Amino acid sequence: MGMNYYLLFLVHFLVSLSLSLLVGGSGSGNSEYHYKLREKIKAEQEADRVVGLPGQPPVSFNHYAGYVTVNQTHGRALFYWFFEAINQSQHKPLLLWLNGGPGCSSIGFGAAEELGPFFPQKGSKPKLKLNPYTWNNAANLLFLESPVGVGFSYTNTSSDIDKLGDTITAKDSYNFLVNWFKRFPQFQSHKLYIAGESYAGHYVPQLSEVIFDQNKRVAERNYINLKGFMVGNGLMDDETDQKGMIEYAWNHAVISDRLYDGIKKKCNFSDPDSQDDDNNKCSILLNKYFDVYKIIDMYSLYSPKCVVNNTTTTNQFPVFQRFRTNHLFSESRGWHKRPAGYDPCASDYSEAYFNRPDVQAALHANITKIPYPWTHCSDKIQFWKDAPTSVLPIIKKLIAGGLRIWVYSGDTDGRIPVTSTRYTLTKLGLQITQDWTPWYNSKQVGGWTVEYKGLDFVTIRGAGHEVPQFAPRQSLMLIEHFLTNTKLPAKPF
């Protein structure tokens, strides 16, 4: 670990040298090279700077958006939106946020509806509401649309879409970071944390593992100062996720005793083959289970659905008609859709906003004129080549590697409920160092915490699948305490 810190210091020194040493110029050939490099970097950053974003309120921080090529041969490029921290950005860590799906946009959900600074509002005239609980209060905030085919991210090789999976997503996201740091070298030495929700329960640990492994073998200039990651309502282990979904639904009066008992008897979640046959009894029972979520919001049990003119909007589709991971994506239509939080029509506003030509121009997006509209979740991604049934081995490895790891759960989510996450963490077999303890949001209980040896678990009371949307103040407290590695308040304040 000492050698890594030495290498990191060296990288920071070299980057600083390349950007600032030669402002005055010494006349040497080496000075001329570094001067040109610095000017090139400044020009690239300036080209990505976002100015004149329609409907944007005035802010004191800079933000940037654009593309980073991750595979030159295939023409794969990922779209990002980056917000500098509101105060003292040079001293704040860098936080990468990933949404899941797979196939859903971190711009549409994370940035525009959960934890970014700007939320699109209803109306024909573009208007962005400033989010007082934006996470760039705590960190420099980077959103990434990944993999290719999601949002504005694209590939010039159409066959790439049919080859997507966890492995290529992690590899491309790693290449994105390496190349993004070349464009923004002033953040190379900053502490990096990765966070995400839902299927990012796969993305976040897998990308963290790639960085962790690559840091042992890459050149100093590509060393990434990864310190930890956080996963919310994350898909991490198929068996416990599925078992917990059914128990949560029964415990929250969503399904009947008869259906619950039938699923327990006929479905073996530790054996995915038991759900293969459409005609077998397990599949029939699971279809009845999912029928419930055609009429209520699976992602926030007690929130209303979006209704326009007495009709639910097209965003509101039933989800996940199969449990088995490697069958989910190819067989089910509408699996990626989900209702939004406090305003269940928020996704309608952001979808209209990001399809405006003036918005795309301001964000330097859609430069290749993608032949389909921007959507929250890609209809193009119908196949997923690889998805392990559990990421717990990766989490164990990274705990042993010394990374800071927090897992959090909004407790009104029915998709990856708190019940599932508790079963999953128990399966890790970690020693509990401090058991079920309340934490406070001012005078009210914000949720509960469990401290394990090597991992912290936090619940957020009354929050659905997308915690920052349902509990913005509490979620900002969560990320602030995670980044500073401090305990959430154990008493009212």
- Spans in the chain with pLDDT lower than 70: 1-29, 272-279, 308-342
198 is catalytic: yes
**Active-site residue, selected from the candidate residues 409, 413, 456, 481:** 413
Question: Which of 105, 198, 378, 475 is labelled catalytic?
Answer: 198
| pLDDT tens-place string over residues 112-128 | 999 999 999 998 899 99
Give a three-class secondary structure readout of the chain. CHHHHHHHHHHHHHHHHHHHHCCCCCCCHHHHHHHHHHHHHHHHHHHHECCCCCCCCCCCCCEEEEEEEEECCCCEEEEEEEECCCCCCCCCCEEEEECCCCCECCHHHHHHHHCCCEEECCCCCCCEEECCCCHHHCCEEEEEECCCCCCCCEECCHHHHHHCCHHHHHHHHHHHHHHHHHHCHHHCCCCEEEEEECCHHHHHHHHHHHHHHHCCCCCHHHCCCEEEEEEECCCCEHHHHHHHHHHHHHHCCCCCHHHHHHHHHHCCCCCHHHHCCCCCHHHHHHHHHHHHHHCCCCCCCCCCCCEECCEECCCCCCCCCCCCHHHHHHHCCCCCCCCCCCCCCHHHHHHHHHCCHHHHHHCCCCCCCCCCCCCCECCCCCCCCCCCCECHHHHHHHHHCCCEEEEEEECCCCCCCHHHHHHHHHHHCCCEEEEEEEEEECCEEEEEEEEECCEEEEEECCCCCCHHHHCHHHHHHHHHHHHHCCCCCCCCC
Considering the candidates 190, 465, 475, 481, report the single residue annotated as catalytic. Answer: 465
Residue 307: what pLDDT? 76
pLDDT for the residue numbered 277: 55
Confidence (pLDDT) at 276: 55
pTM: 0.89
Q: pLDDT at position 33, please?
A: 86
